[in-house]
Copies of this chain bind each other. A is one copy, B any other.
Amino acid sequence: MPQYSNFPRSFGVLYYPGFEVLDIAGPLEALNILARMKGFEDMELSIISKTLDPVSVGPIAPDTTSKNFAGRQRYLPTHTFANAPPLDVLIVPGGFGSADPLPSGGKPDIEGYVDFAHKAYCGLEGRQPLKYFITVCNGTIIAAKAGILDGHKATTNKDGWNAITPLGPKTHWIAKARWVSSGNVWTTSGVSAGGDGILAWMNSILPDEIVTKVEVSMEWIRSKSADNDPFAEIEGCQDVLPKEK
C-alpha cells in the first residue's frame, strides 16, 4: 500500500479565454511542489480547454484601446473536453472571461466549460465522478451554472459578490471567508485566496508536516483560518441565504 494513498492523483484544471493567471498559479505552485516530493511522483495533471489552441488570459474581444498587456500571456492546454482522462480533482479558476457580459460587451464562451464541469462532477457519460471540486475567485460562475454549488455553502471573490451570488440561488453564500469547504466542494475567495484554499484542502487529507513543507518551499505567508478575509468588509459583502431548495 503506497503512503498517502487516500490523496487523489489525477488533477484537472480548466483554462478558458480570459482566465485569471494567479487564480490557477497559486494552486498549481503548491501542487507542483507536492508532486516533486517522495510519495507523490505519480500525481498527474491535465490542462483542459475547448481546443488545444493557446489560451490567453487577456481580453476576449479584439482590443483596440490598449496594448493588450494580459493578452500576451498565452498558455497551452494538454487536453480537450473530449479526451480528458479520468479525474479525481477539477480546479476551476476565475477571470474576466466568465463574466456576462464580458468587459468588452460580448457574451462569454464558457458553455462548454460549464457542461464539462457538470459531467465531470456528476460522473456522466462514462466519466468517473470527481472526488473533489475546487473553484478560485469567480470560477464560482462556472460552478453555479453547472449546478455544483446547489445545496452547498460557498464563497467567491468579494468584488464580484453582488453579481455572482444570484447565480447560485440554492447556495448559502458565506461572505467573510478566505475559503469554504462543503462536502467535496471547495470554493475560495478572490485570486490570491486560491493559495490558502489549496493548502487548506491539502491539509484536510495530508498531515501537517507535508503541507508545512509545501508552504515553506513556496514561502507562502499562509492564512490558516478560513475566516481570515479582510476583503469582505472592504467590499461590504453580506452572507446570502439560499432562496430556493
Is A132 part of the contact surface with B, judged by Cβ < 8 Å? no
Q: Which residues of B contact A66 (CB under 8 A)?
A: 35, 41-43
| Interchain CB contact (< 8 A) of A74 among B75, B220, B234 | B75
Q: Which residues of B contact A117 (CB under 8 A)?
A: none
0/1 interface trace, chain A 102-127, chain B, CB 8 Å (1 if under) = 00000000000000000000000000
Closest chain B CB from A44 CB (angstroms): 4
Q: Which of A67-100 contact B (CB under 8 A)?
A: 67, 69-70, 72-76, 78
| Interchain CB contact (< 8 A) of A43 among B69, B157, B221, B231 | B69
Q: Which residues of B contact A47 (CB under 8 A)?
A: 72-73
Q: Which residues of B contact A231 (CB under 8 A)?
A: 216, 219
Q: For this complex, into which size category does the number of interface residues on chain A fall?
A: 35 or more
Q: Is the CB of B72 within 8 A of A32?
A: no
Identify 27 residue pairs between A and B in the complex whose beta-carbon atoms are under 8 Å apart, listed by A's number. Answer: A21-B32, A22-B26, A22-B29, A25-B25, A25-B26, A28-B73, A29-B191, A31-B69, A35-B69, A36-B70, A42-B66, A42-B67, A44-B67, A45-B67, A45-B69, A45-B72, A46-B72, A47-B72, A74-B75, A158-B219, A159-B217, A189-B219, A190-B217, A191-B218, A191-B219, A192-B195, A193-B219
**Chain A to chain B: the 8 pairs with minimum beta-carbon distance, closest first:** A25-B25, A22-B29, A35-B69, A190-B219, A41-B66, A74-B76, A32-B70, A191-B218
Q: A22-B218, A45-B73, A137-B219 are in contact. List 6 more A-B contacts (CB 8 A).
A: A21-B25, A25-B25, A25-B26, A32-B73, A45-B70, A157-B219
